[in-house]
Amino acid sequence: MHELSLSREVAAIVGHASAGRPVAVVELRVGHLRQVVPDALQHAWRFTVKGTPLAGARLLIEEVPVRLTCLDCHQDSLPGHQLGFDCRHCQSPHTRITAGEEFMVVAIEVDDPDQKGVPDGTLPPARR
């Protein structure tokens, strides 16, 4: 189950980015081609953050379907039911995957009553 190692990596990224502040929500964008099972990732997340400063942080997962762009007719489409990657408009095999390979932390929501947003986008130093 690679979801456990993925949740550990996400926790490390979020832990660093939150600079010691309590985290309420972590938003991920995960493409279908990443072969991540959202329920398994949710379960791994709860296990990973238990007893850590991230305990209680909710994980929101946006699933991104596969999208293709045809290099011949320049049309965008979804792959066929059999995950065929030929263009659904002109049947050309010359397509490029334009979505569905993502795995990224999109946003984190921190609970920090002393800092309600930082205008210049920089993180304040971690409190000790």
Q: What CATH number is attached to the domain comprising 98?
A: 3.30.2320.80
Instruction: Decide if 44 is inside a domain.
Output: yes
Q: What is the pLDDT along the chain (128 residues), one digit of tens a residue?
A: 689 999 999 999 999 999 889 999 999 999 999 999 999 999 999 999 999 999 999 999 999 999 999 999 999 998 877 768 899 899 999 999 999 999 999 999 998 656 555 545 555 555 44
H or E segment at 77?
A: strand 76-77
Instruction: Decide if 12 is inside a domain.
Output: yes
CA 106, CA 82: separation in Å to the nearest integer?
30
Domain extent at residue 93: 3-110
Instruction: Decide if 126 is inside a domain.
Output: no
SS3 41: helix
What per-residue confidence (pLDDT) applies to 115?
57
